[in-house]
Chains A and B, each alone.
Chain A
């Protein structure tokens, strides 16, 4: 019997479901960073706003990378619904701390998919996610460095202005 299903699709449906979940997560991250950019603009942190506009674009690129992988492997990529975006932050420190929390969640989710792909012998998905594993190391490191810089600079006096200016160092 011809294996039409295998000829049409080269990953497992469990990986496809998890990758669709990841598409949603990346879309949510992109929208969250856009909300952060908006908050920064409204509160006078113009360099940080630029940083978050860039982050929002990057998250969308990540989403599209996964979306195209599902297309290439014959899967069924689902365009995500994005709801429940927080627009309220108490300070610029709160913005960056929330960013780190978000990045850690994304990292955990990627690791979970790698683990599952390995468990079910889906080598294509496992290898595809190599890039994301290393990208998350870089993303987390960037935000940790910014939080370290905030800690050293302090938020008193002209501290907030200096923090915003220094964020420029992390805009590629």
Chain B
């Protein structure tokens, strides 16, 4: 397996022989097709960070993420959400499917 991108909490791998991807969430590794990876991207990119910090919309500061046709469920805190957004955007650039220049982040 080849590493596509590694962020603070997550790593995305490509398994060429199986024609799929593996996303290591730390406590769990999830196998994904590209379609499922696109679906993950859609869900993660649609998490509104302003609403995330707004107690009227999100009282506890957690986001619930269901993946691969509700096969997996993750509860993410703020740092994990931001890190997953970073992983998704950088991974698609590494995969050659995104032309965006990633935002400069300071760590």
Per the CB 8 Å criterion, the residue count for chain B at the interface is: 20
Report whether over half of chain B's contact residues are helix, strand or loop; otherwise say mixed.
Answer: mixed
Interface contact B98-A74, CB-CB below 8 Å: no
Whole-angstrom CA separation of A77 from B41 in the bound complex: 13
CB under 8 Å from chain B, chain A span 89-112: none
Known A4-B34, A76-B38, A76-B39; judge A12-B99 contact (CB<8 A). yes
Contact of B97 with A9 in the complex, beta carbons under 8 Å: yes
CB nearest neighbor in B for A11: B97
Asked whether any CB of chain A lies closer than 8 Å to the CB of B60, the reply is no
Q: Determine the chain B residues whose CB is within 8 A of the CB of A121 once the complex forms.
A: 99
B34 CB → nearest A CB, Å: 4
Size class of the contact patch on chain A: 20 to 34
Are B42 and A76 neighbours in the complex by a CB distance under 8 Å?
yes
Q: Interface of chain A, helix or strand or loop or mixed? A: loop
A78 and B100 alpha carbons, distance in the complex (Å): 21
Q: Is B2 an interface residue (CB 8 A)?
A: yes
Task: Contact check, B34 vs A9: say whether CB atoms are below 8 A apart.
Answer: yes
Interchain CA distance A66-B98 in the complex, whole Å? 19
State in angstroms the CA–CA spacing of A160 and B99 once bound together. Answer: 52
Q: List the A residue with the shortest CB-CB distance to B92.
A: A13
Any A CB within 8 A of the CB of B16: yes
A13 near B14: Cβ-Cβ < 8 Å: no
Question: Which residues of chain A (23-55) have a CB below 8 Å from chain B?
Answer: none
Cβ contacts A to B, 20 pairs, < 8 Å? A1-B2, A1-B16, A3-B96, A4-B14, A4-B16, A4-B20, A4-B34, A6-B96, A6-B97, A8-B34, A8-B35, A9-B34, A9-B97, A12-B98, A13-B38, A13-B97, A14-B98, A14-B99, A76-B38, A121-B99
> Which B residues form the contact surface with A (CB < 8 A)?
2, 14, 16, 19-21, 33-35, 38-39, 41-42, 92, 95-100
List 5 additional contacts besides A4-B20, A8-B34, A76-B38; criterion CB under 8 Å: A2-B16, A3-B95, A4-B14, A13-B41, A76-B39
